[in-house]
């Protein structure tokens, strides 16, 4: 059963490009991890500081296990560009 891990993030004022770059690095680091089935990244057209990052995983357990394998330096760069903690949730696919 594929699940999605959904994050909504707000870049610090003036850090939009830094967050964009950091999220691309996170995506590159996440894609090869066991259980990852893909990554999507979006920027809000109405608010260029707002980003949505969606990871597809084989299961919640696969996501949690992969988290321990992720290079933490990519997360550090992302967190430095954020204006507050990301909002995250697990989602079940109903269509797709």
Residue-wise pLDDT for 23-62, tens only, equals 999 999 999 999 999 999 999 999 999 999 999 999 999 9
Whole-number pLDDT of residue 1: 83
List for the chain the helix, strand, coil content (%; round to 5).
35, 35, 30
Inside any domain, residue 73: yes
Task: Please state the pTM of the whole predicted model.
Answer: 0.93
Domain encompassing residue 7: 3-89
Instruction: Indicate the angle between helix axes 16-30 and 72-81, nearest 10 degrees.
Output: 160
Question: 3-class DSSP state for residue 14?
Answer: coil
In the predicted model, is pLDDT for residue 96 greater than 80?
Answer: no
Domain presence at residue 94:
no
| Domain annotation covers residue 95 | no
Structurally, the chain folds into a number of domains equal to 1
CATH code of 12's domain: 3.30.70.100
| pLDDT the model gives residue 61 | 96
Number of CB atoms found within 10 A of residue 25's CB: 15
Has residue 58 been placed in a domain?
yes
**Is residue 71 a part of any domain in this protein?**
yes
In a domain, 63, yes or no: yes
Q: Quick check: is 66 in a domain?
A: yes
Query: Does the pLDDT at position 11 exceed 80?
Result: yes
Percentage, residues of the chain above pLDDT 70: 99
């Amino acid at each position: 059963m594929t699940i999605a891990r959904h994050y909504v993030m707000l870049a610090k004022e003036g850090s939009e490009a830094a967050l964009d770059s950091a999220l691309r690095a996170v995506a590159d680091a996440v894609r090869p991890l066991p259980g990852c089935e893909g990554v999507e990244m979006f920027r809000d057209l109405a608010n260029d500081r707002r980003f949505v990052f969606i990871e597809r995983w084989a299961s919640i357990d696969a996501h949690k296990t992969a988290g321990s394998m992720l290079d933490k330096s990519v997360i550090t760069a992302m967190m430095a560009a954020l204006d507050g903690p990301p909002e995250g949730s697990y989602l079940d696919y109903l269509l797709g």
